[in-house]
Amino acid sequence: MRIRTVKFNFIMNAILTVSSILFPLITFPYISRVLLVEGSGKVAFATSVVSYFTMFATLGIPTYGIRECARVRDNKEELSRTVQELLIISGITTAITYGVFFLLLFVVPQFRGQKELLIVIGASIGLTTIGVQWFYSALEQYSYITVCAVLFKIIGLILMFLLVKKPEDYVIYGAVYVIGSFGSYVLNFLRLRRFVTFKKQGKYNLQRHRKGIITFFLLSVATSVYLNLDLVMLGFMKGDVEVGYYNAGIKVKTVLVTCVTSLGTVLLPRLSYYIQQEKKQEFQRMVTKAFQFVLIVSVPMMVYFILYAKESILFLAGESFLPATASMIILMPTVLFIGLSNITGIQILTPLGRENHVVCSVTAGAILDFLLNLILIPKFGAAGAAFSTTMAETLVLVVQCVYLRSQMWGMIKNIQIWKIVIGVIGATVGGVIFDKVTTLGVFLTLCISVILFFGIYGGILLVLKESFVNEILRKK
């Protein structure tokens, strides 16, 4: 089995990340204008609700499976046994989850009112279970993951333009969303036999996974709370319109976070492998590069989209979504916080077997998010939910840094943060001046401002000879 280099995997994941940026840029403006605020809010509410059921169906296997399969990827017999055991566990939990899901559709009034949409999007629960995306990530099969994901995104895009024509088509859009996002998981399952055998490999020992799965499940519970609770609580407390506004800001934030965390996606299996092989120097070197990447990419993105939040909302969603501008601005710091906590939590603590510390940090964030939502959503709506999320992400990062306080300095001491700050300040001055003097339309304003802002930023980093940028250029 061929294991590609981290550079190749990053390129593949970068392509996947670019597709994750481009497709929302194409679909969201169309969907927001066709389904309008209320229709968009219904779909956002339904996907958030289903995400909770998916969380219970998969337990903590999506992350736990990556680590465990990466550790035994050189032993086909043990790899096969691990995959079989994890599939048995997730199959049982998925069956139980679907039972509860269909029961609640008839019991909860808010669910009963959107029963058809929830059933359609609920198909993603089973697809996620059989999709074993964690297996392909553990084996670093990123070329396959990328090709399949892009292919089904294109299929979803075509179906969206063909089938979604009016506000009443939100259920159809739900089906298109499932096909585009989860359709490749069917191929994942069918392709599994190329890497593992389904012949029983000795006696199953499901108990050996209990502690790890429970730990990662608690992590996914806490994470899902503050990632999806805002939309769910907004839906219950303020209605679909407010959810629609908040979802517009979340869309931009999600695209940026995907870009910032793209390197982390390919590092978890490799870092887990280094820990298993006791290659500590390689582990620390790679983590340092991850910190550099996140800081260089996330800080200017965060600042740019704060400066041009209004124009971004106008371009993506139209004037009817302008109230989402405040939520978007408040959410932007989370791009940096999530990028950093992805390193401290998923790339450092998890491979080291300290996932219980990740659980504690995320639980603290989830509790804070819930309490702030209760206080702020009734009065401030979407803006209150955005503030709650930002505070929760801040707390998660702070707690993880406290756990890593004895190791952090060794990982970040060589990062030239001051050069990044100077670059962002220079780009911000240029962006503010351009914003004050320009009278162009929204599209041209965004196009020119992006080139100007990131051109100035990149130019300053080159002039100051920032180490990470120089290293990238030398390798070309």
Higher pLDDT, 112 or 96: 96
Residues 6+ apart with CB under 8 A from 466: 296, 416, 419, 420, 423
Higher pLDDT, 220 or 77: 77
CA distances from 38 to 32, 169, 177, 231, 245 (A): 9, 12, 17, 13, 9
| 134/402 Cα distance (integer angstroms) | 29
pLDDT exceeds cutoff 70 at 232: yes
Residue 225: pLDDT band by 50, 70, 90 thresholds? low
pLDDT for 141-155, tens place per residue?
878 888 888 899 899
Structure tokens at 188: 């994942």
- Predicted confidence at residue 355, as pLDDT, reads 79
| 408/288 Cα distance (integer angstroms) | 10
Residues 6+ apart with CB under 8 A from 244: 36, 37, 38, 39, 40, 41, 44, 321
Mean of pLDDT values over 55-81: 85
Considering the chain, what is the average pLDDT of its residues?
Answer: 84
Nearest 5°: phi and psi at 269? -65, -40
Structure tokens at 472: 């990238």
Percentage of the chain surpassing pLDDT 90?
A: 28
| CB count in 10 Å sphere of residue 277 | 11
Residue 123: pLDDT band by 50, 70, 90 thresholds? very high
| 343/289 Cα distance (integer angstroms) | 10
Lowest mean pLDDT among 106-110, 179-183, 430-434: 106-110
3-state class percentages of the chain: helix first, strand second, coil last, to nearest 5: 85, 0, 15
pLDDT exceeds cutoff 90 at 92: yes
If DSSP states are collapsed to H, E and C, what string results for 150-176?
Answer: HHHHHHHHHHHHHHCCCHHHHHHHHHH
Does residue 185 contact residue 55 with C-beta atoms inside 8 Å? no
pLDDT exceeds cutoff 90 at 211: no
DSSP 8-state code for residue 209: G
DSSP 95-152: HHHHHHHHHHHHHSHHHHTTHHHHHHHHHHHHHHHHH-HHHHHHTT-HHHHHHHHHHH
- Predicted confidence at residue 18, as pLDDT, reads 65
Planar angle of CA 86, 90, 393, nearest 5 degrees: 95
Nearest 5°: phi and psi at 88? -60, -45
Nearest 5°: phi and psi at 317? -125, -20
Considering 7-16, 215-224, 255-264, 291-300, the range whose residues carry the highest mean pLDDT is: 291-300
pLDDT exceeds cutoff 70 at 57: yes
- Predicted confidence at residue 24, as pLDDT, reads 67
Mean of pLDDT values over 262-290: 67
Q: How many Cα atoms within 13 Å fall on the side-chain side of residue 234?
A: 32
Residue indicated by tokens 């994901």: 149
Residue 399: pLDDT band by 50, 70, 90 thresholds? very high
- Predicted confidence at residue 300, as pLDDT, reads 94
Considering 42-46, 234-238, 314-318, the range whose residues carry the highest mean pLDDT is: 42-46
| 57/96 Cα distance (integer angstroms) | 8
- Predicted confidence at residue 379, as pLDDT, reads 87
Does residue 120 contact residue 178 with C-beta atoms inside 8 Å? yes
Predicted TM-score (pTM) above 0.75: no
- Predicted confidence at residue 178, as pLDDT, reads 92
pLDDT for 326-343, tens place per residue?
889 999 999 999 889 988
| 467/10 Cα distance (integer angstroms) | 19
- Predicted confidence at residue 427, as pLDDT, reads 94
Nearest 5°: phi and psi at 446? -65, -45
Closest alpha carbon to 251 in 26, 55, 428: 26
H/E stretch holding 461 reads helix 442-463
Does residue 112 contact residue 105 with C-beta atoms inside 8 Å? yes
| 89/68 Cα distance (integer angstroms) | 15
CA distances from 400 to 338, 397, 411 (A): 12, 5, 14
